[in-house]
Structures are given as structure tokens and as C-alpha cells.
Amino acid sequence: MEEIKNHMPLLGDDFPGMKVQTSHGPMNLPDDLKGSWFVLFSHPADFTPVCTTEFVAFQKRYDEFEKLGCKLIGMSIDQVFSHIKWVQWIKSELNVEIKFPIVAANDSVAMKLGMLHPGKGTNTVRAVFIVDPEGKVRLIMYYPQEVGRNMDEIVRSVKALQISDAKKVGVPAGWPENELIGDRLIVPPATDEITAKKRCEDYDCFDWWFCHKPLN
């Protein structure tokens, strides 16, 4: 029997194509979401405390992701009926309706995304993939089972990627509340002496290699 290798796509790679079963029905990823940003995030298991807090937190930001044109997709190796029952429990006990689909990943799917940690049995790690409208992987985050994710950082990352693409700029640490330049954006460094000299005339700069401009 051929061994299934545990591969994690790299930044800029095509998100690996896969046919999956979800709590909302079958999906072809990334084809069904071409033209849209999406965040696919895996969790170790349904009916676990940390994962439950994460799903509630993602749902609380569902409308914010929608405004960004970004879809949410959960994933674990639990079967679809487990996903459905867990979502029902969250609705009845916590009064939160989970509106995004949850993939029932088999080992092949999980291995394509590097989600099975050798030291953690068959549970999937807490992975986050932000994928752009062309199906390219743009950002990857990995968390251990013990630590829940910060969903505000995931929202911020989607916003930052979209702004960087649209305006061809760099986005500073902690944006939009950077300690040096607030919500301003970083102008790409000059690549020749003439442009370097002009940079300081056209923009606010600490030096020719560190110039910034307003968001709008």
C-alpha cells in the first residue's frame, strides 16, 4: 500500500485540489470558491472545549469576514454526522448558530495540508490557511492543540493581504495600530539611486528605505 505523505503547501502554492464532504454537502476545493477569498481552519476534534470556543469566536466574526468577501470553512477528521450534532449542540446550549461548513477530512485530505501531527495520533492540528481568489495560499498559521487561535488576527491578516494586493504596499506590524506609523502603509523600498532620492520628496520617510503613506 502506498504511503500517504504529510505535505504542507507553501506560501504562493496552489491550494491542493480536493473533493470533500461537509456539513453543508459536498464541495470541490478550491474550485467551488474561485473568485473569493477563503479561510480554511482545522481543529483537533468536535465536542472539545477549546475548539468550541474557537467556533463561537469565528461565528461571532462571520459577518466581518463576509464583508471582506471571505468565506469560512472548518475542518477536522470527525465524520459529518459528528459535525452536524456538534453544531446543533452549540446552537441549543450556547445560542450561537454556526453558518459556515465543516469539512469531514479523511487522512488523505489532512495529509495534503500537513494537518496530522505525528505526535498527536489522528487528531488534526490547529492550522489556518488564507487563500486568495486565484486559489493561491497566501498565509499559513499553525497552533498546537493546547492553544486556541486569535480570530481578530485572522481578520486583520485577510484585510492586510487585500490592502497589500490592491495598493501594492507593505503592511506594518500590528496594523492598523502600529507603534511607529499607526494605520499608514509602507511604500516598497527603492531599487535604484534616483528613485531612492525621490522617495523622500514624495512620501513621509524615516529614511529613503523606510517611507510610508496614508491608508486612503
**Strand 70-76 to strand 37-42: parallel, antiparallel, or no bridges (unpaired)?**
parallel
Beta strands 70-76 and 102-104: pairing type? Answer: parallel
Peptide bond into 44 cis (omega under 30): no
Q: CA 8 to CA 14: how far, in whole Å?
A: 11
For residues 81 and 103, give the distance between their C-alpha atoms in angstroms, rounded to a whole number. Answer: 11
214 prior amide bond cis, ω within 30: no
φ/ψ (deg, to 5) at 54:
-70, -45
Which positions ≥6 away from 150 have C-beta within 8 Å? Answer: none
| 3 state SS of 156 | helix
**Burial class of residue 179, CB neighbours in 10 A (0-12, 13-18, 19+):** exposed
d(CA 51, CA 56): 9
Taking alpha carbons only, the member of 108, 107, 138, 110 closest to residue 38 is 138
- The catalytic site residues sit at 51
Query: Bridge-partner residues for 210, per DSSP?
Result: 207
